[in-house]
Amino acid sequence: MNQFKEKLIALLHYPNCSWNYVFQLLKKDPTLTSFLPYQPIKLSHSVSSTSEKISSQSSRSFFYPEAIHDQIRQYKTNDIYVITYFDKEYPHYLKEIYQPPWALFVKGDLSILKKEPKLAVVGSRQATQYGKNAIRLLFPKLVENNVIIVSGLAKGIDALAHEHAIKNGGQTIGVIAGGFYHLYPKENQQLALEMMRTQLVVSEYPPDTKPQRWHFPARNRIISGLSRGTLIVEAKQKSGSLITANYAVNEGREVFSLPGSIFNPFSQGTNDIIQQGAKLITKAEDILEEIR
């Protein structure tokens, strides 16, 4: 690992290290020459952002980054690989989004990251039988055409998307909130561990990061950013899945939506985005003709 990469990875472990802080630091010091990652520092002089303020109590304390060095040294032992924005392995499509992650912490089959096409599949955490049946109908043909399924390892549609990709002999990428050592939700831990062995799990956060509420909408930009298109299977009118769809629209990616009954609240969001211009899909071919 070169010195610049090691410094950048260490920086991302610092408390409250925001995307903007790294951006401003790199503007002033593109090679991070002045950054000394393993020296004790006062937190008040380390990192801050307008959205994530360090408390007055912690600003009077010291931070000892040698613990970071120990963590980073253990990543290789734990089969965790770090891909920074400046590495050639960094996904091309992800580089195109607003505020692409400075690094991806990845565990599993790295070759999946290079494969195309990728399709983001997201939906309600309370999947209905209709949503489950739709995934069973669509996935065999998608997998047959080597589509990589990307989702967020959440309950409901996300978990079903990963499971049916694997069941049909395909490949899948899970983008998680928080780090690998704090998997959420607990119901999907076994699925996540299986995917770390045979598929791929990705996070923009160091492995010892506990998931915070704001991590979940933030990771949606990575789910859509890795993919040529995003399929919304089920969503209420106010749904995190629609955040993912909006990211896809803003980045000029395809958005697909499964229509549903006007009497089903879990179809209100999907029907709304069809009205806004998402492509209505009823079969796998409707997706394949746009992303292949």
How far apart are the C-alpha atoms of 192 and 174, rounded to whole Å? 8
Percent of the chain with pLDDT over 90: 81
- The larger pLDDT score, comparing residue 124 to residue 14, is at 124
In the structure encoding, which two tokens stand for residue 269, read together?
Answer: 């969001």
Average of per-residue pLDDT across 100-105: 98
- Confirm if 280 and 230 have CB atoms less than 8 A apart: no
The predicted pLDDT at position 65 comes to: 67
Distance CA 103, CA 155 (A): 25
| Residue pLDDT, tens place only, 133-182 | 999 999 999 999 999 999 999 999 999 999 999 999 999 999 999 999 99
pLDDT of residue 64: 56
Q: How many CB atoms lie within 10 A of CB 184?
A: 18
Sign of the Cα pseudo-torsion (270, 275, 276, 279, in order): positive
Residues 42-91: tens digit of each pLDDT = 544 444 443 343 333 333 344 556 778 888 889 999 999 999 999 999 99
Q: Is the pTM of this model over 0.85?
A: yes
Between CA 238 and CA 148 the distance in angstroms is 27
pLDDT average, residue stretch 212-237: 95
